[in-house]
Structure 1
Amino acid sequence: MSEFAIKDEFLLDGEPVKIISGALHYFRVVPEYWRDRLEKLKAMGCNTVETYVPWNGHEPKKGKFNFQGIYNIAEFISIAQDLDLWVIVRPSPYICAEWEFGGLPAWLLKDENMRIRCHYEPFLRHVDDYFQVLFEQLVPLQVNHGGPIIMMQVENEYGGYGNDKKYLRAIANMMLEKGCVVPLVTSDGPWHDMLENGSIPELAFPTVNCGSNLKGHFKKLKEFNNGTGPLMVMEFWIGWFDAWGDTEHHTRDEKSAAQELKDILELGHVNFYMFHGGTNFGFMSGANYYEKLLPDTTSYDYDAPLTEWGDTTPKYEAFKQVISQTSKLPKVNFSTEIIKKDYGKILYKNRVSLFATLDSMAESIYSDYTMPMEKLDQNYGYVLYRTNIGKKREIEDFRLIHANDRAHIYINQELTFTKYDLELPVKESFELTAEENILDILVENMGRVNYSIKMEEQRKGIKNGVVINGAYQSEWQHYSLPLDNIEMVDFNKDFKEGSAAFHQFQFEIEEIGDTFLDFQGWGKGVAFVNGFNIGRFWEIGPQTKLYIPGPLLKKGMNEIVLFETEGVYRDEIYLTDKPGY
């Protein structure tokens, strides 16, 4: 048993320690590779690993908890301890992390009055219920109980969202009541009011998040802390994330980052954000929203020292060199053999239109008016809205009212137009030429905003309704399409050009390795490997390949299914051993 304390310095059993940590999110890496990534973190010279904890991953439905597979946090922390690494845990309720809704579960939004990240009793009750279960996992793993956890963080960058100190204190006290005995910290940007807004020094020690001018920001942090305590950058931004539509993959040169690291280690302590970014599997990539929607790519490579697929980089070597001047580098034997495989061209086997297999994928739910995704007890994916809009005539005013994020509008299953983000409420005009007309609207949730004030406006689908010639349209059928039942796609049904469709590929392999799905020539959608959702693709880039970790494959027959929404597809896909953008 040990004790970690924050005094004038970080102390372990009364002795000063230098924290050199790297961020590695267990939920962005397949469990079979946790040990490999942690070994490489240690070999770079880190003595600590930091991870967020995504509430929406651990409680996907209210009262239904998941600590298995990629969400087995206790196993991840235990592997870190096997490697003699300390652990910093940042356990929600909000994590940002470019993760869907900043880690908050979407089911919170079923309550129309819900207020998040503030002292709103219904929100706090949900957090308390979750913490009761989460801390059963974390408490035994603290250093005081023989585990590796040395610190836990209260909320995350709260100073960039609000200044509700009553809320922050409630979260901190909740953590203490649930058994947290290691020191609490907060982390905020050092600009404007952020440190003041997000800090509760009487309960949690303040740290900063930044990527440059570390000496200047450490000076500001020292002044804020009245000259006492250690200086730590909880997020040293050594790269950045990408959004769909960015002109190129974000990178940062290793020389400037290494120089900043030298400055940090001269004065204090560091946590690299990220050491290894990993992948936004499934529908879990988040988004930012300022002037327009900026949904994050599936890759969370972050230009980190370790690539999305686990290779070391020149940045890794540069950081390793800097750290070696501060502490002795350990000798680490890498225990996981990882190879890359080029499986080549694979021809399609079957394809079927969404409309043809809709009834096998979802049951219709009737409502007089449109319901958003959350009211349908759905968190992610797509919703198809269907109604009869009557006889042939001119439609002079067609609008979607309070809809998010992207909608395909079909008349009698023919695509009429597609609307995205700011275009959604814009009036459209068109002519109905058939005697009877069925309107279908396929709406995609492209990832709830994970940062700043737009988080309060993240109900997906169509919230208020559809206006046709100045009046709200009623009598709707709703089809929930979270695509968590991909095995229910009926490939015996018909395929129609130009519509959203499922495309099936099968291939046999004798040797398993990491590979990369090159989706150039495809439009937009999501990919499934042996039923596992590996994430979104979109022809606008900058990402052009999806990483497929070897453990998702099996010897013998494998299946890939692409759900593509634009009618842009090819008869083949390519699985290559060449990673990158």
Structure 2
Amino acid sequence: MSLIIPFCIYVSTGFFGTMTIIEKKFQRRSTSMSNFTIRDDFYLDDQPFKIISGAIHYFRVVPAYWRDRLEKLWAMGANTVETYVPWNMHEPQPKQYNFSGMLDLRTFIQTAQEVGLYVILRLSPYICAEWEFGGLPWWLQNIPEMKIRANNQPYLATVNRYYAHLFPRIADLQIDQDGPVILCQVENEFGSFGNDQNYLRKLAALMRKHGVTVPLVTADGPWGDMLTNGTVPELALPTINCGSKIKENFAVLRSFNGTKKKPLMVMEFWDGWFDAWGDGQHHTTPAEIAAAELNDTLAEGSINIYMFHGGTNFGFHNGSVNNDRLQPITTSYDYDAPLTEWGEETPKYTAFRDVISHYVDIPTVSLSADIQKKSYGTLRSDGQTDLWTALPMIGTHHECPYPRSMENFDQGYGYTYYETRAGASREIDVRLVGAADRAQMFVNRTLQATQYDRQLGQREKLTLPNPGENRLGVLVENMGRVDYSAPLYSQRKGIRDGVMVNGAFYSQWDIWALPMDHLERLHFSQAAVGAEQPVFYHFTFNVVEAGDTFIDLTGWGKGFVAINGFNLGRYWDIGPQKRLYLPAPLLHLGQNELIVFESEGRRNATITLTDQPI
């Protein structure tokens, strides 16, 4: 997804058999092997097939809720589910692969098939999706001569290696092998990024080499040169991404296809929008307007609703948009979708189901899960520790002549702390050169100034109070790598170039890499911590019956929350998100441990776990 072409969708379809706009029949597919082809229309077992798909990203939903969300998609009348496949999650470090837990793509696809849905896989190494670095692994930036999303040997070699591990896990789930996968997407909105069609051909060839046998598609905006740039018609069916003016945009696609009749499809039907930290409000699209556009789409073609269920940007995996200013995406990826972030049906769900009922019969579905919300009350911290005490527990220490970016320390996410000796008492002028994304400056480990986004690089006047030695520290947070357009080429985090003090680059730095992935090493005490210092707060609470709950952080400033070792994601008092969603499957029966990292030094010792979302 992008700011211009924001939706990126994976369509998954189920066991539904032949459904046409004429017959208005809803049937389950037989268990015999099937075929799915693209001619003048989509054909399933040689019968015209209208794809009615919705996007659910398995990596944004806890696995225990996959079936519930898929059942609700089916109950709305859809026959397919679409999902992206995030390379950066499946290969977090070079040649280290993860396909378990929330990343068990095979189980997600099989669950969709059991529910009755077909599947569209968007297998591009780049996904956008408001996801960290658009799904690209951060470590690509450490490879010499790397040029992402291009006909570039180092890039295509790493993609080939990744595909060699990905495809054997899912190739037999394609429809011609009695699986539910009917389509795969080659790249994502490439037409708004480049026009290198040799790259697209090589990427498609890699997919075929590693076992993709179903038809391929591309997805681009219907504006300007995007379809021309991003489409290779002889290899993949062109589809479009848009959220309004469907009739007009289908006319553009029809004209682009020329005299050859091809099926029309909106691969990303934008039914809502994402939120960024600092937005004045949660973005919404009225249900009646979105439903009218949905009807216009189904009247002429097929659809993938982006999003059907947005889910959550857990951990530090939210992406950022940079269109003259940095806009990190909130932890919630609710998207004003038919299902809320926590999986409840909205008026948009009802409106969409009503529209879809004019094209297919709506099934009667008995949901397999009974998901409850619980309030666990107000919790008081039973221990804390400041960042400086925690550095040797959770940080990796480096001594360097000059500051370096976090990627140089084999670190992808989180924070990096830089500290140096600054000399005796005086006024100093400090300038961070090449820093990203948010920096807090400390003198003798007391907060003095904060710079963010376009403020970074401005001169900051600080006072060194001690007649003897003083220490200058800088804590830099990676707020989420940009996921779209030209900034993709410059996404190193931390301090890349240096720190100038009174006009000169300062040397001899102690640097701690802080990915925040080993919080179990922390030790907490009841001793008070200093004001205006980053602090970890510890909470425990008992659970007799697990239910979804929402963490109210009123009075806190900025940071992240971890529950039982799982990073729920960021909070920030600038909104618009006010509470963090905590799914019941992340809770333990009995005692639970919750840790809040508060980077702004707010001395707040309580949080509330409520059954009321915002």
- 1:429 to partner: Cα distance: 2.0
Q: Which amino acid aligns with 1:210?
A: C
Name the counterpart of 2:610. Answer: 576
Give 3-state SS (helix, strand or coil) of 2:381's partner: strand
Cross-structure match for 1:104 = 136
Match of 1:67, SS? coil
Matched, 1:456 2:489: yes
Amino acid at match of 2:555: G
SS in 2 for 1:89: strand
Match of 1:242 in 2: 275
**How far 1:569 moved relative to its partner?**
4.0
> Is 1:352–1:496's contact at 8 Å kept on the other side of the alignment?
no
Matched with 2:507 is 474
Match of 2:167 among 132, 135, 154: 135
Select 2:601's aligned residue among 562, 567, 576. Answer: 567
> What is the match of residue 328 of structure 2?
295
Match of 2:62 in 1: 30
Scaled by the length of structure 1, the TM-score of the pair is 0.98
Q: Tell me the CA shift for residue 112 of structure 1.
A: 5.7
Write the deviation string for residues 501-558 of structure 1: whole angstroms up to 9, x where unpaired: 1011111121100000011110000000111100000000000000000000011111
Which 4+ residue blocks in structure 1 deviate beyond 4 angstroms?
A: none
Unaligned runs of 5+ in 1: none
Residue 394 of structure 1: CA displacement?
2.7
The aligned residue for residue 445 of structure 1 is 478
Number of paired residues?
Answer: 579
How far apart in 1 are the matches of 2:170 and 2:384?
46
Q: Which runs of 5+ in 2 are unaligned?
A: 1-32
Structure 2 match to 1:190: 222
2:19 aligns to what? none
Instruction: Compare 70-79 and 168-177 and name the one that shifted more.
Output: 168-177
Is 1:154 aligned to residue 189 of structure 2? no
Task: Give the Å deviation of 1:437.
Answer: 1.2
Question: For the residues of structure 2 that align with 1:391 and 1:24, how far apart are their CA atoms?
Answer: 57
Distance in 1 (alpha carbons) for counterparts of 2:183 and 2:172: 13
Q: Secondary structure at the match of 1:491?
A: coil
> Could you tell me how far apart the structure 2 residues matched to 1:522 and 1:112 are?
42
From 534, 552, 559, the equivalent of 1:518 is 552
Asked if 1:484 corresponds to 2:517, the answer is yes
Alpha-carbon displacement from aligned partner over 1:265-308 (angstroms, at most 9, x marks no partner): 11000000000000000000000001110000000000000000
Question: Which residue, out of 448, 456, 462, partners 1:424?
Answer: 456
Q: What is the alpha-carbon distance in structure 2 between the residues aligned to residue 541 and residue 258 of structure 1?
A: 28
1:9-34 per-position Cα deviation (integer Å, ceiling 9, x unaligned)? 00112111010000000000000000
RMSD of aligned alpha carbons: 1.0
Out of 510, 526, 536, the residue aligned to residue 502 of structure 1 is 536
Pick one of 40, 43, 51 that aligns with 1:8: 40
- Identity over the aligned pairs, expressed in percent? 53
3-state SS of paired residue (1:355): helix
1:304 aligns with 2:333: no
Q: Helix, strand or coil for the counterpart of 1:155? A: coil
Give the whole-Å Cα distance in 1 for the aligned partners of 2:240 and 2:374: 41
CA–CA distance in 2 between the matches of 1:309 and 1:359?
A: 37
Distance in 1 (CA, whole Å) between partners of 2:598 and 2:240 is 42
Given candidates 375, 379, 399, the residue that maps to 1:366 is 399
Letter in 1 for 2:403: T
Match of 1:230, SS state, is coil
User: CA offsets, 1:195-223, max 9 Å, x none?
Assistant: 11111111111000000000000000011
Query: Structure 2 CA distance, aligned partners of 1:140 and 1:564?
Result: 46
- The residue that corresponds to 1:404 in the other structure is 436
Asked if 1 retains the 8 angstrom alpha-carbon contact of 2:242 and 2:266, the reply is yes
Shift of 1:363: 2.9
Structure 2 residue 88 is matched with structure 1 residue 56: yes
In structure 2, the residue matched to 1:393 is 426
| Residues 356 and 495, structure 1, Cα contact 8 Å, conserved in 2 | no
What displacement does 1:111 show?
Answer: 2.9
User: For 2:436 and 2:167, how far apart are their aligned partners in 1?
Assistant: 34
Three-state SS of the structure 1 residue aligned to 2:382 is strand
TM-score (norm: length of structure 2): 0.93
**SS of equivalent to 1:318:** helix
Equivalent residue, structure 2, for 1:174 = 206
Matching of residue 317 in structure 1 with residue 350 in structure 2: yes
Aligned to 2:99: 67
Give yes or no for the alignment of 1:554 onto 2:588. Answer: yes
Contact 1:87–1:149 (CA under 8 A) maintained in structure 2: yes
Question: Which amino acid in structure 2 is aligned with residue 379 of structure 1?
Answer: G
Cα distance between partner residues in 2 of 1:113 and 1:432: 43
Q: How does 1:110-121 map to 2 (within 5 A)?
A: 110-111=142-143, 113-121=145-153
